[in-house]
Chains A and B, each alone.
Chain A
């Protein structure tokens, strides 16, 4: 670890109404954070301001906006945004709120629109957010300067076919935000793929951080929480080991953390169905791996999935997940998959069935989300620390070409603690 563990020690962070500082809730030495941070509505509002309103969020794939006027409505934190392709061919991201009196411009979540007209008083905007005009505008406003009344625009960058946007005005680039995760995202996703279908969405009782913190490097939970995968025979025991210990080992991810709070799981080739042989020479080889990058605070990008076809060729895919916060106790899970455009229809059908069946076992994770909220309700429960004290070494596998802080198996809690440090950094940045 090259991190200076005490670089945040002097910060207090925001002060809550009862006098508690954020620093009181996180112990940087013991690597603990109080469960109150999962359930406190006051902290949640601060997160929306200091984290989500300043974050780069992966919103859509460029193929969803193939034609001029195509739009989808997505979320940055709790803010709804219109993602659309302008007449100039660029992608723009606009706050879905009329610059006049606040009515939502788009009620549908996808479609095609040459312009966006507010249903309330009729102000109309183009895909870049410029005000085009309004009913009776001469009578109402005379000779007015329309440029004063544009929609609120987010900054947009497209990376590996994914449209990212932020309401941050500090000039921080997407590259800064992603850190080393960008390198892996470039290998996971590309602009040529097309949606396998529209997103699947459902509400989960839980705090967004519980989901994202697990994605930041928890290689310990599958052993127990996902034990049912093993019990049903989808994962086989390694020869001679037996039992749950081999579940742990057969899931040999390399985990790449970074100070930006992002983490990439690099799964072994064939994951999740192939049994992984820890004695093989290419045990930690880079080639053929599947990358799952959690981008703080709301985005997860998977890929490349590699699917062999009957004729011996291969097709590939990727996925975009979003964790849309809906209060301290709830988020919406957003799951969308993308595939190579020439993927034959029978293969698409097969993939849809696979993804549906996958959910049967991902269900385990939502149990953790629910349970932690129940635990954090009580006064004593919310004082209870979540512990991340298991420390490991950074060990870069031989021949590993990628950047980042690399943890080879068996991973400890280091990746997840980088997540919490990032969380504390952004929350306390805002309070300074």
Chain B
């Protein structure tokens, strides 16, 4: 661990760096150790993915001896479920749902969008930190840009469409949401599916020549009724930025 740490240039909990001799440790040994560590980590991640825990994102940090990041909890149940092929009709239902949902938001039909949510919906965008690899991917569920339920989302929607003094919403911003890379897995609960998708959101305001950009991975739990109707029960939005590039308050993902 100390050697690995020295390669990432901050020593971990071993007292002051003994500068003389340690520099003479053959580089090849360092790399061997590094590679072994890395390959172990990758195997663990791969196994976890196969077992259906979504991605490495949800795993606790490998090194708990350092200041541990609080792992993000999705509320998405451990699945163990198989991945659905893109040709599966259920995959198609869920893809249609996600596309329609994005269109409702893009078209400023926010009230209808609320109908896409279950009453017990959990909607979160955890903050992210820049941390060394050994401390995980930086997501920390103890603070969230969004930490919402059906009621608070309703409040945000009301602000977005009804209020004359919501100045960030009027004139309406020009927003486009691209939904891609959908992976659907079964869960232990019949009718519930874990859906992972990528989202790229572009927002333009006034006469600006440029766009505010937000890209994220979304880990959703979708509830699908017998008639194929889908609703969103959980959404975890994992953004690709630590300090968001613009004010994205009240911009639904």
Contact = CB atoms under 8 A, between A and B. Distances in A.
Interface residues of A, number: 65
Interface stretch (A162-170, A281-289, A357-365, A397-405): A357-365
Contacts of A332: 243
B10 A108 contact: yes
A115 B16 contact: yes
A228 B163 contact: yes
Contact of B248 (A134, A202, A361): A202
Nearest to B242: A201
A204 interface: yes
A71 to B, nearest CB: 8
Interface stretch (A17-25, A31-39, A117-125): A117-125
A232 interface: yes
B9 A198 contact: no
Contacts of A107: 9, 130, 132
A352 interface: yes
Interface in B205-253: 206, 242-250
A392 interface: no
A198 B129 CA distance: 8
A118 B250 CA distance: 41
A70 B141 CA distance: 20
Given A200-B127, A205-B246, A353-B152, A133 B17 contact: yes
A410 to B, nearest CB: 21
Interface string A89-130: 000000000000000011111111111111100101010000
A214 to B, nearest CB: 15
A134 B19 contact: yes
A105 to B, nearest CB: 8
A137 interface: yes
Contacts of A200: 127, 143-145
A308 B102 CA distance: 39
A199 B127 contact: yes
Given A198-B129, A352-B144, A352-B147, A366 B17 contact: no
Nearest to A244: B165
B145 A108 contact: no
Interface string B147-159: 1110010011011
Given A196-B143, A360-B156, A204 B166 contact: no
Contacts of A359: 145, 249
Contacts of B19: 124, 132-135, 137
Contact of A356 (B140, B144, B167): B144
Contacts of B9: 105, 107, 116-119
A327 to B, nearest CB: 14
B168 A201 contact: no
Contact of B129 (A109, A196, A363): A109
A198 B142 contact: yes
B66 interface: yes
Contacts of B16: 87, 114-115, 126, 132
A305 to B, nearest CB: 15
Nearest to A337: B143
A367 B135 CA distance: 36
A378 B70 CA distance: 47
A111 B63 CA distance: 11
A198 B127 contact: yes
B246 A360 contact: no
A203 B19 CA distance: 40
Contact of A232 (B67, B140, B163): B163
A306 interface: no
B20 interface: yes
B247 A366 contact: yes
B244 A353 contact: no
Interface of A: 67, 69-70, 87, 105-119, 122, 124, 126, 132-137, 195-205, 224-228, 230-232, 332, 336-337, 348, 352-353, 355-357, 359-364, 366-367, 374
Shortest 9 CB-CB contacts between residues of A and residues of B: A133-B19, A197-B143, A197-B142, A227-B165, A202-B244, A201-B243, A356-B147, A113-B10, A363-B249
9 contacts: A109-B242, A110-B131, A114-B11, A114-B13, A132-B16, A137-B19, A204-B246, A225-B167, A364-B165
